[in-house]
Chain A
Amino acid sequence: MAVVTISRQFGAGGKTLGEQVAQSLGYRFLHETQLDTMAEEAMKGAGQDAEASHYHSLVVDLLTNLAPSNFMDRWTGASQWDEKQHIGALTRVIQGLAGEDKVVLLGRGSQFILRHHPGTVRILLVAKMADRIQFMTRNYGMEQQQAVRLINDADKKRARFLNNFYPGEPDEASLYHLTLNTSLVPLPSAINQVSRLVQRLEL
């Protein structure tokens, strides 16, 4: 029983890995667009100053009714929320999800929000720029130029967003239990590394 957070450089295969790790562990996988949607819904339902316990019951409701959303929305669409309020709601949603246990969370500062939450395993994925570009063109059918633009844009957005939670370098390995370089470690091996680590830590 654990909560797994997967942080990654955009295009390092986080969603692909997260889904398969969740499947192998029998956990629920939530990608960042889903986390954002839940934060937005929770904000509408509870208001930004609501008690944590109220948030928790909202999170449970939202989980049951969560519709599949487009993963790329987060990176291609414009944000419609005030960032501070959104981060507040996101924090409480992620804390609520951690209370539910057996989840794999992709991104959205979850590595920092759950830094002191017992039973959290924090994973970082890194990869070479060239491989990240190739990954985006193959997996999302993008043109090379479009992938380069999106990755550069996402890197900037990510750095700015994570700065809300942590002032230092987010790719510093000592913040995580395990860091994998997906330019060098094949997917089956990466899935095995993460799943087995979660099982072995017996949290």
Chain B
Amino acid sequence: MAILSISRQFGAGGKTLGGMVAEKLGYQFVDESLLQKVAEEANVSVRWVEGVEREAGGRLMRFLSTLVPSSFIDRHLGESGQDFDERRYAAFLTKVIKELAQENNVIILGRGSQFILAEHPESVRVLLVAEYPDRIKFLQRRYNLEQEKAEAMVNREARKRERFLRNFYQGDPNNPSLYHMVLNTSLVPIETACEQLCDLVLQQVDRTAKPIWD
């Protein structure tokens, strides 16, 4: 029973890794494009936004699962949040992510979830970092992109991430003390990273384990 928040520098393999961990642990994976989609739906139906707080988690999850097939439309390529005032969007995300956290056994990729869930007792927060050239190479391989395009994407997303996360936190989002664990996917292969994350989640929620200070 845990909720895993995966944050990452763009191109460090967060989406791939999140999917792998979800499959291995039998968790539901909520990626950014899915959350974006929810926000768009919400923008259409304001009543639904207002309802989020009151809704039972199960219903929200069912709603989310109906959206899964379309989540493959890579929303990173679009201009996320443009139609939706960013502050309202952040407030909305806070509601949705907190609601998702009620569900347990969920993995959430990005969207400020590391800050929204900072005080959540069942949350495990990890960050993925990687060297700049490796992040470009990863995107080229994974999404079959030209180097120039991958590079432009990494740069654009880095700026967007920085601006977006400022809605939740004023400091450096790559500060390791904000997370339980940071993995460097330039040095740790993705399969190994997946195993390390599964170990962390399974052991972290074992309440009988003693903290380091005892």
Interface of A with B (CB < 8 Å)? 13, 16-17, 122, 124, 126-128, 131, 134-135, 138, 171-174, 176-190, 192-193, 196-197, 200-201
Shortest CB distance B13–A (Å): 14
Q: Are A181 and B176 in contact (CB under 8 A)?
A: yes
Q: Are A174 and B176 in contact (CB under 8 A)?
A: no
CA distance A160 to B173 in the complex (A): 25
Of chain A, the residue at the smallest CB distance from B207 is: A186
Known: A185-B180, A190-B212. A178 touches B174 (CB 8 A): no
Cβ of B182 < 8 Å from any Cβ of A?
A: yes
Contact of B212 among A122, A124, A177, A185 (CB under 8 A): A185
Contact of B187 among A16, A177, A183, A193 (CB under 8 A): A177
Contact of B176 among A135, A173, A190, A196 (CB under 8 A): A173
Interface of B with A (CB < 8 Å)? 127, 129-131, 174, 176-177, 179-184, 186-188, 192, 195-196, 199-200, 203-204, 209-214
Q: Are B203 and A189 in contact (CB under 8 A)?
A: yes
Q: Are A197 and B181 in contact (CB under 8 A)?
A: no
Shortest CB distance A131–B (Å): 6
Complex contacts, B177 vs chain A, CB 8 Å: 126-128, 181, 183
Q: How many A-B residue pairs have CB under 8 A?
A: 97
Q: Are A171 and B181 in contact (CB under 8 A)?
A: no
Q: Are B188 and A173 in contact (CB under 8 A)?
A: no
CA distance A174 to B134 in the complex (A): 12
CA distance A186 to B210 in the complex (A): 6
Q: Are A201 and B180 in contact (CB under 8 A)?
A: no
Shortest CB distance A183–B (Å): 7
CA distance A154 to B23 in the complex (A): 44
Shortest CB distance B158–A (Å): 13
CA distance A13 to B211 in the complex (A): 11
Shortest CB distance A173–B (Å): 4
Of chain A, the residue at the smallest CB distance from B211 is: A186
Complex contacts, B195 vs chain A, CB 8 Å: 196, 200
Of chain A, the residue at the smallest CB distance from B180 is: A184
Q: Are A131 and B213 in contact (CB under 8 A)?
A: yes
Q: Are A188 and B188 in contact (CB under 8 A)?
A: no
Complex contacts, A122 vs chain B, CB 8 Å: 187
CA distance A174 to B203 in the complex (A): 25
Contact of B209 among A126, A172, A178, A189 (CB under 8 A): A189
Complex contacts, A176 vs chain B, CB 8 Å: 182, 184
Complex contacts, B176 vs chain A, CB 8 Å: 124, 126, 171, 173, 179, 181
Contact of B184 among A13, A17, A173, A200 (CB under 8 A): A173
CA distance A135 to B212 in the complex (A): 9
Contact of A185 among B183, B184, B192, B200 (CB under 8 A): B200
Shortest CB distance A4–B (Å): 13
CA distance A81 to B131 in the complex (A): 37
Q: Are A135 and B213 in contact (CB under 8 A)?
A: yes
Shortest CB distance A134–B (Å): 6
Complex contacts, A178 vs chain B, CB 8 Å: 181-184, 188, 196
Of B180, B195, B214, most A-chain CB atoms within 10 Å: B180
CA distance A171 to B179 in the complex (A): 13
Complex contacts, B209 vs chain A, CB 8 Å: 186, 188-189
Complex contacts, B192 vs chain A, CB 8 Å: 197, 200-201
Known: A192-B203, A193-B196, A197-B192. A173 touches B182 (CB 8 A): yes
CA distance A197 to B199 in the complex (A): 11
Shortest CB distance A64–B (Å): 32
30 A-B Cβ contacts within 8 A?
A: A122-B187, A126-B177, A135-B212, A135-B213, A173-B174, A173-B182, A174-B131, A174-B186, A177-B184, A177-B187, A178-B181, A178-B182, A179-B176, A181-B179, A183-B177, A184-B179, A185-B200, A187-B211, A187-B214, A188-B203, A188-B209, A188-B210, A189-B199, A189-B203, A192-B199, A196-B196, A196-B199, A200-B192, A201-B188, A201-B192
